[in-house]
Amino acid sequence: MGITDDFRVSGLKFPDGFVFGAATAAYQIEGAATEDGRGPSIWDTFSHVPGNVENGDTGDVAIDFYHRVDEDLDLVKSLGLSAYRLSIAWPRILPAGTGEINEAGLAFYEKVVDGLIARGIEPIVTLYHWDLPQPLEDRGGWTTRETSYAFAEYARVVGRRLGDRVAVWTTLNEPWCSAYLGYASGNHAPGRRSEIGALQAVHHLNLAHGLALIELRKVVKRPDAKFSVTNNLAMTYAADPANPEDVDAKRQLDALQNRAFTDPQLRGFYPHDLLMDTKHITDWSFVQDGDLELINQPIDIVGINYYCTGTVRRGPEHPTEGTVHPGAACVESVEQPGPYTEMGWNVAPQGLYDLLVATHEAYPEFEIMVTENGAAYRDELVEEDGVKRVHDPERVDYLQRHLVSAHRAIEAGVPLTGYFAWSLMDNFEWAFGYSKRFGIVYVDYATQERTKKDSALWYEKLAETGVIPEA
Ligand code: FCB
């Protein structure tokens, strides 16, 4: 774990056809929050409440992607990427969450998708990257089943319009964040703090995933389209692997973080230990007969977002109300060895390898893609001989080590077919606002000018040759 020189390798070649892409999400980049009939989402509401987001930042303007589609897609093209992962804003399509369709919203994403295809870039679409229409939250949000069915309706509308063009359909991005940060700790929109609410959200997000897949499959027309879901699966280690108590703490967290999503989605059941560990909170009677069959729809690709690792041990009991993980009263996190990114997250390329191998072992029949990986650092725009540059050696180093790790996973037999850098451009980093820069392209927020960082130039070389360049 942590940085070892072992991962500073160049010259490794990825298999032909391996997808190098970059990812973004609607609320983080689009802006135009009230334009062309877009309704409010929970992130509009949440970010406008003072104290919720650093510096009072909101996504009202973001990086103005809504008005800069051509320029930004040219950027993707100039990086030589073969795929671009975007998300669609539900409140642009169905401003009230259900019912009336906003044609301007569909037209906007049609323009983006067509723009990608015209440039030879595959559109990889995520339907839900956290921007729930506010009217649905007002009726209970993800704590209610109604929201799952509303999501299926939304998926059908988008699938009908773009189903002949989109290469990969991803239902949800990181339902862990939506459920636990949204409804347990309240760090993310809608900012609720309810342990049972968060567990209901887990289930209704899973149900939404399954119902949406059923609808998508009815309307998607592109014969080679693939279906997927992206989870931020956690790579957690036991502090002392020889201590059964620590191993059990790891098991408990693994159930809440990972298996609460992957087991129903990919296997059609909730892990027994998850139900036992949370039985003082709920009997899970919100899981109705037939739900697990609905959730467990066939998919092609398991998407994984990976940033850092965790280590846990068995600790003394502490209150869990208002914390991230419901019912994890005796699980204690252990500080990770550095170095750390600007987020305070540890740099641990070995963790990506371990996670990919573990996921493949548990769910061997699926193709896997790393749908997000990247790092925030304090970047500075400089001018050298009249040329604007951003020297970000730490990010280049981070990307190199993680791509070497991904390469090793392929050599170990993991069917990994793609890697998406998070993110194409600096953007609205949720509760951290614009204070954290994850882009490989720098954005000057005052002028909206884009400048490729050194990491973008490095990644461009990789995309062009398929060979890991020197850092
Ligand atoms: C992930 C999110 C993404 C971005 C990165 C840093 O959890 O999916 O939108 O914020 O973290």
State residue 112 phi and psi, 5-degree precision.
Answer: -65, -50
Tell me how far apart the alpha carbons of residues 459 and 375 are, in angstroms, rounded to a whole number: 14
Single-letter amino acid code for the residue at 186 = G
Residue the block writes with tokens 């909730």:
270
Q: Give the integer Cα–Cα distance in Å for 459 and 454.
A: 9
Whole-prediction pTM value?
Answer: 0.98
User: What is the rounded average pLDDT of the residues 215-224?
Assistant: 98
What residue owns the CA closest to ligand 1's atom 9?
25
In 3D, which of 97, 100, 91 has the Cα closest to residue 38?
A: 91
Q: What is the best residue among 369, 430, 440 to mutate for testing ligand 1's pocket, by most ligand atoms within 8 Å of CB? A: 430
Residue 439 DSSP SS3: coil
Mean pLDDT of the 190-216 span? 99
Q: What is the three-state SS of 303-361?
A: EEECCCEEEEEECCCCCCCCCCCCCCCCEEEECCCCCECCCCCECCHHHHHHHHHHHHH
Give the bridge partners for 330, in sequence order: none
Residue with tokens 């009249």: 386
Mutate to test the pocket of ligand 1, among 187, 305, 308, 373 (most ligand atoms within 8 A of CB): 305
* Lookup: tokens for 156: 């059908």
The set of residues, in sequence order, having a beta carbon less than 8 Å from that of 267 and lying 6+ positions away, is 296, 363
Mean pLDDT value of segment 361-367: 98
Percentage of the chain exceeding pLDDT 90: 99
40 upstream amide cis, omega within 30 of 0: no
Kindly state the average pLDDT of the residues 364-379. Answer: 99
Q: Both tokens of residue 171?
A: 């239902």
The encoded tokens of residue 148 equal 């799952």
Phi, psi (degrees; rounded to nearest 5) at 418: -160, 160
Q: What whole-number distance in Å separates Cα of residue 237 and Cα of residue 312?
A: 6
SS3 percent helix, strand, coil of the chain, rounded to 5, is 40, 20, 40
Q: How many helices (H) and strands (E) does the chain have?
A: 17, 15
**pLDDT of the residue at 3:** 43
How many angstroms is it from 173 CA to the middle of ligand 1? Answer: 9
Specify the 3-state DSSP secondary structure of 168.
strand
Distance CA 406, CA 412 (A): 10
Kindly compute the dihedral angle of the four CA atoms of residues 204, 432, 434, 135, in this order, to the nearest 10 degrees.
Answer: 30
**127, pLDDT greater than 80:** yes
Q: What pLDDT is attached to residue 2?
A: 39
Q: Ligand 1 center to residue 432 CA distance, Å? A: 11
Residue 440 has which token pair? 């490989």
Q: In the beta sheet, which residues pair with residue 301?
A: 228, 367
pLDDT of residue 1: 36
- What pLDDT score was predicted for residue 5? 61
Q: What digits encode the pLDDT tens for the residues 134-165?
A: 999 999 999 999 999 999 999 999 999 999 99
Ligand 1 environment, Cβ below 6 A: 25, 28, 173-174, 177, 232, 305, 372, 422, 429-430, 438
Centre of ligand 1 to C-alpha 300, Å, is: 22
Kindly give the distance from the C-alpha atom of residue 137 to the centroid of ligand 1, in angstroms, as a whole number: 21
For the segment 314-358, what is each residue's pLDDT rounded down to a tens digit?
999 999 999 999 999 999 999 999 999 999 999 999 999 999 999
* Residues with catalytic function: 174, 372
Which amino acid residue places its CA nearest to atom 4 of ligand 1? 429
Residue 458 has pLDDT above 90, yes or no: yes
Chain centre to alpha carbon of residue 325: 19
pLDDT in the model for residue 252:
98
Tokens of 115: 């723009």
Q: What is the mean pLDDT of residues 216-226?
A: 98
- Kindly list the structural domains of the chain, giving each domain's residue range(s) and its CATH number in brackets, ordered by start: 5-465 (3.20.20.80)
Nearest CA to ligand 1 atom 2: 174
